[in-house]
């Protein structure tokens, strides 16, 4: 082992001679600032320039601690993962635990949909918070009696649903307004109207609950 194989997401930390300038920045500070910026200005407002400004620093300074904007997004993602509530898997019946986890997961990422395209494809290697969540969820599935080979596919299926539902949660209330094409889509238009007397009845929450119940029932049947 010539080198301790520096992690991709990790930035240098040598031990030799002569110490550097007092560090104003670090990854935690950058992550926190990014989260605050996102909550105030949204993902459009998250630019390297704005991030630097909020830290009182020049944009180029960020690149001493982060290799790209994409790495900032990964840091934010890991932070969010640590906020997902998977505690139920060690205390509640499996069905309840899944429900609690899924609602928490969706709730958090509904406000961070731009991260989903990153997460869904991001290796969990060296993503400790994400791994911790998977470990807890896996344990919960084992305890509930799932055969080992069914667990990962079940989690993947649930996550797919949760991510999709997170997008949904941001849809405008009138997303299903068929407008002047209503006449050519009578059944659909009627079904939309049946949800309530007025338009503006996008059933994001109801749909999430229904689909989640279906998944829990269907996947739960895989237990031995």
Binder of residue 36, out of DNA, a second copy, none (CB less than 5 to 8 A by kind):
none
Determine the 3-state secondary structure of 147 from DSSP.
coil
Among 27, 32, 35, 59, contact with DNA (rule: CB under 7 A): 59
* Identified binder of DNA from the candidate list 25, 32, 35, 216, rule CB under 7 A: 25
Please select the residue that binds DNA; options are 1, 4, 7, 19, rule is CB under 7 A. 19
Does 224 bind DNA (CB under 7 A)? Our answer is: no
Residue 68 binding: pick among a second copy, DNA, none (C-beta 5-8 Å cut-off by kind): DNA
d(CA 221, CA 41): 44
Distance CA 44, CA 183 (A): 38
145 touches which of DNA, a second copy, none (CB within 5 to 8 A by kind)? none
Select from a second copy, DNA, none the partner in contact with residue 25, using the beta carbon and a kind-dependent cut-off of 5 to 8 Å.
DNA
- Number of neighbouring beta carbons within 10 Å of residue 56: 10
Asked if residue 36 binds DNA (CB under 7 A), the reply is no
Query: Segment 168-187, which members bind DNA (CB under 7 A)?
Result: none
> Quick one: 21 or 224, whose CB is closer to DNA?
21
CA 159 vs CA 16, 46, 154: distances in Å: 45, 26, 9
Q: What is the Cβ-side half-sphere exposure of residue 159, based on CA atoms within 13 angstroms?
A: 17
- Is 35 near DNA (CB under 7 A)? no
Are the C-beta atoms of 189 and 178 separated by less than 8 Å? yes
Cβ closest to a second copy, residue 64 vs residue 189: 189
Q: Is 70 in the site for DNA (CB under 7 A)?
A: yes
CA 107 – CA 222 distance, rounded (Å): 27
Listed as own residue / partner, the contacts of 149-152 with beta carbons closer than 8 Å and 24 or more positions apart are: 150/222
Tokens for 146?
């799932």
Residues making contact with DNA (CB under 7 A) = 12, 14, 16-25, 44, 46-50, 52, 56-61, 63-65, 68-70
């Amino acid at each position: 082992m010539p080198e301790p194989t520096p992690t991709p997401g990790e930035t240098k930390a040598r031990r030799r001679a002569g110490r550097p300038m007092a560090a104003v920045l670090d990854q935690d500070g950058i992550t926190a600032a990014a989260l605050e910026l996102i909550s105030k200005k949204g993902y459009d407002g998250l630019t390297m320039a704005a991030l630097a400004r909020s830290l009182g620093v020049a944009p180029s300074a960020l690149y001493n601690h982060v290799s790209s904007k994409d790495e900032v997004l990964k840091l934010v993602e890991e932070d969010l993962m640590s906020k997902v509530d998977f505690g139920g898997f060690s205390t509640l019946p499996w069905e309840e635990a899944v429900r609690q986890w899924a609602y928490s997961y969706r709730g958090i990422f509904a406000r961070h949909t731009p991260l989903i395209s990153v997460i869904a494809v991001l290796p969990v290697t060296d993503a400790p918070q994400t791994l911790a969540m998977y470990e807890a969820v896996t344990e919960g599935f084992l305890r509930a009696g799932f055969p080992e080979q069914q667990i990962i596919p079940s989690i993947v299926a649930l996550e797919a649903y949760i991510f999709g539902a997170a997008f949904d949660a941001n849809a405008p209330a009138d997303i299903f307004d068929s407008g002047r094409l209503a006449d050519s889509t009578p059944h659909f238009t009627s079904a939309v109207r049946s949800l309530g007397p007025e338009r503006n009845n996008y059933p994001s929450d109801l749909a999430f609950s229904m689909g989640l119940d279906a998944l829990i029932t269907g996947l739960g049947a895989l237990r031995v």
